[in-house]
Amino acid sequence: MEKKNIDWASIGFGYVKTDKRFVANYKNGAWEEGGLTEDENIVLNECAGVLQYAQTCFEGLKAYTTEDGRTVCFRPDLNAKRMHDTALRLEMPPFPEDKFIEAVKAVVKANEAYVPPYGSGATLYIRPYMFGSNPVIGVKPADEYQFRIFATPVGPYFKGGAKPITITVSDFDRAAPHGTGHIKAGLNYAMSLHAIVTAHNNGFAENMYLDAATRTKVEETGGANFIFVTKDGTVVTPKSDSILPSITRRSIMHVAEHVLGLKVEHREVTFEEVKDFAECGLCGTAAVISPVGKIVYKDGEIAFPAGMEEMGPVTKKLYDTLTGIQMGRLEAPEGWIVEID
């Protein structure tokens, strides 16, 4: 496969138009087969449900080239399942999970020239999404929907090494108890924009959100879950019904327990105990793990022992093991790596 002439190291995280995208419409109570198109534009009625009442959700995953030259995706079945769950919560008709995976494969295959080569650090980011497309003026679910998947090459997340970031505890809340924090809905991001712009203006890379009801427990950031490491090497990740179930986090916890033989805990984490952890990181598809060096809050700051120059030792081991599995350098658990043929 002849690759596009792109400077993979310097493309950053932005939209680059690729050759083909997948489109399927839902009408009269059923999803049509759908297929690939070259047209990147969407023409919608001015009153479309998505435009009026934000009835939209999305997913995010990556395709990349392994060490032995295969083009693969990482656990797309979990994205299919999560989008199914999200759709139900938003009163949208779920796109069939098997067809979701087929469509992901078709989009990657059709844009294989944009899948960055092994070792470049870049990947092909895949964005499945769905929205209400027919006119809706009274508040109710749309009757018609469009499901689409596009792909765009993105550069290495860490340029010049994964430097720890400084984050802050947000004064805003991300998700209410019994709300929509656990689903990948656009609305969760719309309301996070003011909070992240505020954090950036104050010099912080990310927001740590606490639980909205008591503001005593750690939830997540706007787009990544937390993992912590205790001083005796246990990997801890916060549990809450309003946290988005990150596929990266679930994979890291599996790797920690079953590949590295570490003790793992998925439980409520109070903000009070964060100062006692040895390491802190953010996990999500984009960065895999971003190390957190410091957390600044109203009454002080928490500086983790690994400092601001490098990842903590356990975080690094988790990062190296998961990326090793993804890139085909280490054996993957059954079903994690899906080849594009």
- Residues in contact with ligand PLP by CB under 6 A are 60, 184, 220, 223-225, 244, 246-249, 284-285
Which residue type does 138 have?
G
Rounded least distance, CB 167 to ligand PLP, Å = 14
Q: Which is nearer to ligand PLP, 187 or 262 (CB)?
A: 187
Residues 105, 184, 294, 317: which is the catalytic one?
184
Give the torsion sign (CA, 267, 271, 273, 275): positive
Please check whether residue 330 is in contact with residue 321, taking contact to mean a CB–CB distance below 8 angstroms: yes
State how far the Cα of 105 lies from the Cα of 205, in Å rounded to an integer: 33
CA dist list (Å): 9 to 48, 54, 158, 165, 334: 39, 35, 10, 21, 31
Please check whether residue 340 is in contact with residue 63, taking contact to mean a CB–CB distance below 8 angstroms: yes
Whole-angstrom Cα Rg for the chain = 20
Rounded least distance, CB 15 to ligand PLP, Å = 17
- Catalytic status, residue 184: yes
State how far the Cα of 208 lies from the Cα of 301, in Å rounded to an integer: 13
Rounded least distance, CB 250 to ligand PLP, Å = 8
- Biggest CA-to-CA distance, the chain: 58
Of the candidates 59, 65, 55, 93, the one whose C-alpha atom is nearest the C-alpha of residue 77 is 59
Rounded least distance, CB 61 to ligand PLP, Å = 7
Rounded least distance, CB 126 to ligand PLP, Å = 11
- Structure tokens belonging to residue 303: 């500086």
3-state secondary structure of 107: helix
- Structure tokens belonging to residue 98: 């098997």
Burial of 69 (C-beta count, 10 Å sphere; 0-12/13-18/19+): exposed
Q: Which is nearer to ligand PLP, 120 or 180 (CB)?
A: 180
State how far the Cα of 186 lies from the Cα of 2, in Å rounded to an integer: 35
Rounded least distance, CB 88 to ligand PLP, Å = 17
Catalytic residues, by residue number, are 184
